[in-house]
Amino acid sequence: MASGGKIFKLEAEEELRVEVDCGKTDKVIVELKSGHAEIFGTEMVVNTKYQFTTGTKFAVFTFQGCAVQVQGKMEVDPYTSKETPMMMYLNTHAALEQLRLKAEKETTRGPICMLVGPTDVGKSTVCRLLLNYAVRLGRRPIFADLDVGQGSIAVPGSVGAMLVERPASIEEGFSQNSPLVYHYGHKTPGHNPVLYNQLVSRLADVVRERLAVNRKAEASGVVINTCGWIRGEGYNQIKHIAQAFEVDVIIVLDQERVYNDLVRDMPKFVKVVWQPKSGGVVSRNQEQRAEGRDGRVKQYFYGPHNNLFPHSFEVSFSEIKDKLFKIGAPELPDSCLPLGMKITDNKTKLVAVNPNPRDLLNHVLAISFTSATEDVIITNVAGFVVVTDIKVDEQKLVVLSPQPRPLPDTLLLLSEVQYVDST
C-alpha cells in the first residue's frame, strides 16, 4: 500500500489487522480518527499518531465502532475481520476478575494463570491483553515471562518477572520498572533443561515472596508466558512451571492434544481451558525469529525508537580476570565423571571463560548482582552488555552498555545470544 494513508471504518467487535514491511527503515503510522479502539488491550487516544517499526504485526480492535487511518509501507494491505477471539479473551479476563474479587474478600491469593501453546499462536499477545484489562480495573498483577526465545522483559536468553502497574504503551510495551531477571544464556529451554527448571523454581519462589508483601499484587495474581515447546521434555517443563508457580488456571491456545494431556495430568483444582488462536496470528520462520531476537536486544540498548543512548567503553582483560563464566559444562559419559557426581551437576557447573574473540565477540554478557560463584545461578542480574570488539594486542574488550563505565565489580555470565551492533 502506498504511504498516502487510508481510512478504515470498523463496526462494533471488528478488528483491523496490520503487518509492517520488513525493510530496515519501514514504519507504519496508525491514528484513531473517531470512536473507541484498542491495541492489545491498551486504549488508543483520538488524533494521536502511533508509530510501528519494521516487522511489527498488530490488530486494532473496537467494541463500539471507530474510524482508523493507516499510512506507511505494509507487507500486505490491512484488512478487517469480524472473526476474532477478542470476546472470548474478554470473558477469560472477566472470569479471572471474579477470582480476584473472591481473593480480595477472603484475603487469599489471586489467580495464577499460565498461557500454553506452540510457537506463533499469540501467547504473548493474550498475556498482554489480560494484563492490560486487569490494570485498567486498578489491579496490579505480576507478569512472568519464561519464553527465553524472545525475552520480552529483558533480552532473549533470560527469564524474568515484573509488577505491572499501568497499561502497556502501544508503541513500547510495558514500563520496565525494576524487573527481576535471571540469566539462562540460551535461546531454547531444551538446551539446558536442568538449569531452566532451576531458574523457573527460583523465579516462582521470589514471585511468591513479592506477593506476600504486596497485598494488592497478591489479590491481582500472576500471568505467565511460556515457550512454544510443548512436546516431550517441553511438556514436562510445562508441568514443572505449573507446579513451581502453583498455577490454578491454564489457557491452552490452539492445541487440543496438549489441552487433553493437561486435563489428565493436572490436579483437579487447576482449571484448564482450551481457546482457538486468532486468525490474525502470523507464523514466523527461523530468519524472522532471529530478526525478532536482534530487535529485542537492540531495543534493550537503544529503546523502541532509538531514543536511548548507550555507552561504549573499553574494559581491560585484567579487570574481568576470574570473573567471566558460562553455566553448564560439556556432556561427559558416566565413566568419566568423578566419583559420586551426577551428569545433572554438569548442567549447572560454572565454567571459566577466557576473553578470546572466538568465544566472546558480539555475545551478550549478563552482569550478576553477586561476586560469589556459589550464588551466581540463583542471583538475579543487574543488566546486560554486548562485546562489540576485542583488541587482543591491547588486552582489551569494547562493550556496549546501558550504563557508563566502569562495569560493576561482580561476576559476568556469557550468553550464546549474539547481537551485531550496526547502529
Indicate the range of 95-109, 167-181, 263-277, 358-372 predicted with least confidence: 167-181
pLDDT at 337 over 80: no
Position 2 scores a pLDDT of 42
Of the chain, the percentage scoring pLDDT greater than 90 comes to 76
Q: Is 298 left (phi over 0), alpha (psi -120 to 50) or beta?
A: alpha
Which class does domain 307-418 fall in?
A: mainly beta
Answer yes or no: CATH 3.40.50.300 is held by domain 86-275: yes
Confidence at 279, pLDDT banded by 50, 70, 90: confident
Confidence at 3, pLDDT banded by 50, 70, 90: very low
How many angstroms separate the CA atoms of 396 and 313, rounded? 10
Neighbouring C-alpha atoms within 13 Å toward the C-beta of 82: 5
Cis geometry, peptide bond prior to residue 338 (ω within 30 degrees of 0): no
Q: Output the average pLDDT for the chain.
A: 92
How many angstroms separate the CA atoms of 45 and 40, rounded? 14
Q: Find residue 32's DSSP bridge partners.
A: 46, 68
Higher pLDDT, 329 or 243: 243
pLDDT at 223 over 90: yes
Position 76 scores a pLDDT of 84
Position 357 scores a pLDDT of 83
Q: Name the pTM for this structure.
A: 0.93
As given in the structure block, the three cell numbers for residue 351 are 565454567
Indicate the range of 14-23, 164-173, 183-192, 393-402 predicted with least confidence: 14-23
How many angstroms separate the CA atoms of 228 and 45, rounded? 33
Segments making up each domain of the chain, as ranges: 6-83, 86-275, 307-418
How many angstroms separate the CA atoms of 113 and 134, rounded? 12
Position 362 scores a pLDDT of 96
Position 7 scores a pLDDT of 95
Residue given cell 551485531 in the structure block? 420
Instruction: Count the residues in the chain.
Output: 423
Kindly report, residue by residue over 288-324, the tens digit of the pLDDT: 888 889 989 999 999 888 889 999 999 999 999 899 9
Confidence at 19, pLDDT banded by 50, 70, 90: confident
pLDDT at 388 over 50: yes
Confidence at 4, pLDDT banded by 50, 70, 90: low
CB 113, CB 100: distance < 8 Å? no
Tell me which of 3.40.50.300, 3.30.750.24, 1.10.10.10, 2.60.120.1030 is the CATH number of domain 6-83. Answer: 2.60.120.1030
Kindly report, residue by residue over 92-145, the tens digit of the pLDDT: 999 999 999 999 999 999 999 999 999 889 899 999 999 999 999 999 999 999
Residue type, 139: R
Position 200 scores a pLDDT of 98
Give the residue ranges of DSSP H helices in 25-122.
86-106
For the four alpha carbons of 116, 119, 122 and 124, in that order, the dihedral sign comes to positive
Residue type, 134: A
pLDDT at 1 over 50: no
How many angstroms separate the CA atoms of 216 and 143, rounded? 14
pLDDT at 41 over 60: yes
Mean pLDDT of 22-50: 90
User: Among residues 55, 12, 15, which one has the least CA distance to residue 39?
Assistant: 15
How many angstroms separate the CA atoms of 292 and 61, rounded? 24
pLDDT at 21 over 80: no
Mean pLDDT of 376-401: 95
CB 185, CB 416: distance < 8 Å? yes
SS3 assignment, position 383: strand
Kindly report, residue by residue over 176-213, the tens digit of the pLDDT: 778 999 999 999 999 999 999 999 999 999 999 999 99
